[in-house]
Structure 1
Amino acid sequence: MLQEIMANVLRLHALVIQRTDDRLRGYLLMHSPVLMTLILLTYVFLSVYAGPRFMANRKPLDLKAPMVVYNFSMVVMNGYIVHQFLVWGWGTTYSWRCDLCDFSSSTQALGMVRASWIFYISKYIELLDTLFFVLRKKQSQITFLHVFHHSFMPWTWWWGITLTPVAGMGNFHSMINAGVHVIMYFYYGLSSAGPRFQKYLWWKKYLTAVQLIQFIMVSVHISQYYFMKDCDYQVPLWILLIWMYGTLFFFLFAHFWVQAYIKGKRLPVAHPKENGVAPATVKELENGTAPYLSNGKVLVNKVKEI
């Protein structure tokens, strides 16, 4: 029985490798789904279990400088991804309606292949978001939504880019996502730069609004397929999956918005002093200036996350 299961798994793996677009075979993390799956499973394990346990009795690390460099580097990277998507299709030859996959080896097609792969790789770099949370002991930020989004996105994109790297209307969501991340990482860069920039960060809650607008745009754009009389998009399954993806994450982020900014469940609850030390404020936690107790821990306000 076990041998039969393993044989079927190996046959499926061989079929996937055979179907992989030849133009992508030399790119990093594109040869097999096994390595990328192991990376993402390791990420989940470290994020929700091993990382927090490792830091449990340690002081949070001061990562201000690395975070500033990382966040603004991500602004540049995502800006470049948007530029590449515009240059190789969305700003030049695409109609923004029934844009088909291009499986040729033309300059434009190869440019879109490369842009799609860079976007895919950026999702692995973004896993550092969680590493910074773990090392700074901001475990309350590592919610189900955070881990699910960071692990599910690169895993699903491997399959999309493997079978249809130049996906026409199917990669609109990636360009929009990169554009949103330019805004998001710019905010994070300012936030990590220190307290002198706090007065410029009044628009934090609107980051979630931008995310919601993103998913609406993606869902509306991809829904066009079902209202067109003639659109021979080569992989209609991707149309359905992208619509489901946009809709699912819209509701997840909408739930987060309601919990955080309408019901106020992310607001701190008053906590008594311990050993004469008052609970750390949100600003002190973000800036790494929170006072430590005698046991090396930080007394924080209890925050309820989704």
Structure 2
Amino acid sequence: MEFAQPLVAMAQEQYAAIDAVVAPAIFSATDSIGWGLKPISSATKDLPLVESPTPLILSLLAYFAIVGSGLVYRKVFPRTVKGQDPFLLKALMLAHNVFLIGLSLYMCLKLVYEAYVNKYSFWGNAYNPAQTEMAKVIWIFYVSKIYEFMDTFIMLLKGNVNQVSFLHVYHHGSISGIWWMITYAAPGGDAYFSAALNSWVHVCMYTYYFMAAVLPKDEKTKRKYLWWGRYLTQMQMFQFFMNLLQAVYLLYSSSPYPKFIAQLLVVYMVTLLMLFGNFYYMKHHASK
């Protein structure tokens, strides 16, 4: 393995050079709009992918590059046979959905438990760096948002180009950045609410995806077992609405949770409600 050592050293040097440019630029940008992130939370400073934004930025660049090249490839070489996925692809889909059902359920229950143990109120909870267990779950939640890029990759492998919409890529790309900021600055307090709520929605969502993958594709089966798809979208929108209410409450109350996170969430939740609302209307009403 000695031959690999120079390559590893070179990669480390290149990463350090990139990080020396990217990290100061990100922190300078957030400072300039009043979203000062520093100092880093003592509860997460030693966890991977937190201290610097560079790993996330590189991951996002890779994600967008893969999505762009995948869309071009599928335009040139579309899947001509629909309905039956190759065995390995179907196995990957099922394993991916089962993993995220289990992980999301764990995060939801653990977040609620930690909120109960630390005597949280519904909203208006301060971030306390001594609550390290809560911070660890928030970190897992943040990292899971990077793993969820796999959703898009599976869609591209299946040839479902229409599903890789602006809404889909925007949501997957932006949510990881928001949760990096929360994990960096305040991984606890009122962050528990949106993380727990989103985790529960994902339990339902990936259960739906799992059922859709294993059940027959005929319309009778869909009507019998997958009738609740439209209500899943409504649940997602209700989640965004509740997150928006929470953010407004944090802005205009004496809540000790960082105001810049509340400001960020107000803007973000408005965009998601608009995009998901348009998606819901186009799917369930525009064609009728």
**TM-score, structure 2 as length reference:** 0.79
Give, in whole Å, the separation in 2 of the partners of 1:103 and 1:39.
27
The structure-2 alpha-carbon separation of the partners of 1:51 and 1:9, relative to structure 1 and needing over 3 Å to count, comes to: closer
Residue 194 of structure 1 pairs with residue 215 of structure 2: yes
Query: CA shift at 1:95, angstroms?
Result: 0.7
Residue 241 of structure 1 pairs with residue 225 of structure 2: no
Give the number of the structure with larger relative contact order, counting CA–CA contacts within 8 Å between residues 6 or more apart.
2
- Supply the AA of the counterpart residue of 2:197: I
Q: How does 1:25-44 map to 2 (within 5 A)?
A: 25-44=45-64
Give 2:235's match in structure 1, choosing from 210, 214, 225.
Answer: 210
CA contact (8 A) 2:44 2:50 kept: yes
Query: CA shift at 1:227, angstroms?
Result: 5.0
Give, in whole Å, the separation in 2 of the partners of 1:41 and 1:123.
15
Give, in whole Å, the separation in 1 of the partners of 2:117 and 2:230.
30
Give 2:42's match in structure 1, choosing from 19, 22, 25.
Answer: 22
Q: How does 1:61-72 map to 2 (within 5 A)?
A: 62=86, 63-72=89-98
Q: How does 1:3-22 map to 2 (within 5 A)?
A: 11=24, 19-22=39-42
The structure-2 alpha-carbon separation of the partners of 1:82 and 1:7, relative to structure 1 and needing over 3 Å to count, comes to: closer
Residue 251 of structure 1 pairs with residue 274 of structure 2: yes
The structure-2 alpha-carbon separation of the partners of 1:11 and 1:51, relative to structure 1 and needing over 3 Å to count, comes to: closer
What's the counterpart of residue 132 of structure 1?
154
Q: How does 1:260-275 map to 2 (within 5 A)?
A: 260-264=283-287
CA contact (8 A) 2:115 2:192 kept: no
Residue 96 of structure 1 pairs with residue 125 of structure 2: no
Give 2:247's match in structure 1, choosing from 212, 217, 222.
Answer: 222
Query: CA shift at 1:158, angstroms?
Result: 0.7
CA contact (8 A) 1:170 1:242 kept: no
- Supply the AA of the counterpart residue of 1:50: S
CA contact (8 A) 2:22 2:54 kept: no
**TM-score, structure 1 as length reference:** 0.75
CA contact (8 A) 2:23 2:53 kept: no
Query: CA shift at 1:226, angstroms?
Result: 4.6
Residue 82 of structure 1 pairs with residue 105 of structure 2: no
Larger-Rg structure = 1
In the TM superposition, structure 1's runs of 4+ consecutive aligned residues that sit over 4 Å from their partners are 6-18, 58-61
The structure-2 alpha-carbon separation of the partners of 1:226 and 1:46, relative to structure 1 and needing over 3 Å to count, comes to: closer
Give, in whole Å, the separation in 1 of the partners of 2:97 and 2:283.
23
Give 2:70's match in structure 1, choosing from 39, 42, 51.
Answer: 51
The structure-2 alpha-carbon separation of the partners of 1:216 and 1:21, relative to structure 1 and needing over 3 Å to count, comes to: same
CA contact (8 A) 1:113 1:165 kept: yes
CA contact (8 A) 2:135 2:187 kept: yes
Query: CA shift at 1:98, angstroms?
Result: 1.7
RMSD over equivalenced CA pairs, Å: 2.6
